[in-house]
Amino acid sequence: MQEKKEKFSFIEIGKKVLDIESNAISDLKDYLNEDFNTVCNACIQCEGKIIVMGVGKSGHIADKIAATFASTGTPSFFVSPSEALHGDLGMIDKNDIIIALSNSGESTEIIELLPVLKRMGILIISLTGNNNSKLAKSSFAHINVAVKEEACPMNLAPTASTTAALAMGDAIAVALLDKKGFSEEDFAKSHPGGTLGRKLLLSVKDIMHTNDEIPLVRENDKLSIGLIEMSQKALGMTAVINEKNQLTGIFTDGDLRRALSQKVNIEKTLMHEVMSKKPLVISPDQLASEAVTILQTSKITSLIVASNNKIVGALNIHDLFRAGLM
Note the helical H segments in 104-212.
108-119, 134-137, 160-180, 184-189, 195-201, 204-207
What is the Cα–Cα distance from 302 to 46, expressed in whole angstroms? 49
Q: Average pLDDT for residues 193-210, to the nearest whole number?
A: 75
- Provide the 3-class DSSP secondary structure of residue 301: coil
- Provide the 3-class DSSP secondary structure of residue 145: coil
End-to-end CA distance of the chain: 66
- Return the CA Rg of the chain: 31
Length of the chain: 326
Residue-wise DSSP of 189-258:
HT-TTSHHHHHHH-BHHHH-B-GGGS-EEETTSBHHHHHHHHHHH-SSEEEEE-TTS-EEEEEEHHHHHH
What are the tens digits of pLDDT across the range 128-141? Answer: 999 999 999 999 99
Residue type at 156?
Answer: L
What are the tens digits of pLDDT across the range 86-115? Answer: 989 999 999 999 999 999 999 999 999 999
Q: Return the H-helix or E-strand segment holding 276.
A: strand 276-277
Q: Is the pLDDT of residue 309 over 80?
A: no
What are the tens digits of pLDDT across the range 32-77? Answer: 999 999 999 999 999 999 999 999 999 999 999 999 998 888 999 9
What is the Cα–Cα distance from 237 to 157, expressed in whole angstroms? 62
pLDDT interval class at 7 (50, 70, 90):
confident
Q: Are 52 and 65 in contact (CB under 8 A)?
A: yes
Is the pTM here over 0.75, yes or no? no
Specify whether the backbone of 80 is left (phi greater than 0), alpha (psi in -120 to 50) or beta.
Answer: beta
Q: Which domains, and CATH codes, for the chain? A: 10-182 (3.40.50.10490), 204-322 (3.10.580.10)
In this structure, of 3-12, 95-104, 112-121, 185-194, the range with the lowest mean pLDDT score is 185-194
Q: Average pLDDT for residues 296-322, to the nearest whole number?
A: 90
Q: How would you classify the pairing of strands 237-241 and 216-218?
A: parallel
Q: Are 107 and 81 in contact (CB under 8 A)?
A: yes
Q: Are 272 and 250 in contact (CB under 8 A)?
A: no
Strand order of the β-sheet with 302-307 is 281-282, 302-307, 310-316
Q: Are 152 and 159 in contact (CB under 8 A)?
A: yes
